[in-house]
Amino acid sequence: MTPVAEVGTRRRSWREVDGIVLLDKPAGLSSNQALQRARRLLSAAKGGHAGTLDPMATGMLPLCLGQATKACGQLLGSTKAYRARVRLGSATDTGDADGQVVAQSTVPDLDRERIEGALALFRGTREQVPPMYSALKRDGRPLYELARRGEQVVREPRQIRIERLELLSMSPGELEIEVVCSKGTYIRVLGEDIAHALGTRGHLGELRRLWVEPFEGEPMVTLENIEAWATAGAGTPPRWLLPVDRAFAGLPRLDLGEVQAAHLRQGRVIEAPASAPITGRARAYGPGECFLGLVDVGEDGRVRVERLFVPGAGGL
């Protein structure tokens, strides 16, 4: 239990909460605002979010609480999926509907064949220049701060991968697309680039993140759901508070005995159990289904700590 913290004129008692919440972020809130609302409702002492969503965007925002904050880096590098509406004929300074229109263009007659041809240009590995309205920093300052002052700086292109880009529907002046992409992909920039390939301007009218790897198909929870749980007395741990190890579900599992688990918690190198023919990265567990953390099992059968996810091991 952490010390009681001052919140306005009230005193709030923060508590240790470990787990992952797959929040369905509403439009109108920044990712940090959504995180802080959820933290207050859960009275969680420590939290972070994996992958920023713009205020206009909705959808899956993984909130990592307590020990799970150590998993944020893993989730930031994950594949993500989005559904977006690209409005054709006008460009905004931010690349989305929250910005001011800065240019307009006629929209040519488009049919599905022409649109599919344009989308094909963006599938696979390519380079993308990050937008000025982004949280990337230059000399310690976010680019969006410079953009709001009317400044432009050179941004180095980054390699991204579009694994899937599908046209869901089309109407005069608007496309609905679904995208599965690598980390660091800006869907706002993709929308602008698609419009340019079609001979016009464009910006995002809507954006929803469908999932973040490895949580494809997992249900999300709303802030209203969390508030209802908290109002009801916050007794039984909710289903939507996922265990920390769910962030690493794709890794093999290594079960350790009591002595081995104790040694691992101390950061010591141990021998892998003979019954576990595993090499490489793995999830380590102690007795009682206790998730200890991530380890590397060498060819020599030695198990070395990569990162522990147990209290008191924050520095590992």
Strands 280-286 and 253-255: parallel
Q: Could you tell me which residues come within 8 angstroms of residue 308 by beta carbon, excluding any fewer than 6 positions away? A: 264, 265, 267, 292, 293, 316
Q: Is the Cβ–Cβ distance between 108 and 199 less than 8 Å? A: yes
Strands 158-171 and 19-25: unpaired
Q: Please indicate whether residue 300 is annotated as part of the active site.
A: no
Distances (CA, A) of 51 to 48, 59, 68, 138, 156: 10, 11, 14, 19, 20
Q: Of 24, 54, 96, 245, which residue is the catalytic one?
A: 54
Distances (CA, A) of 238 to 102, 182, 246: 46, 31, 15
Sheet with 302-308: strands ordered across: 253-255, 280-286, 290-297, 302-308, 270-271
- Phi then psi for 96, rounded to 5 degrees? -140, 180
Catalytic machinery residues: 54
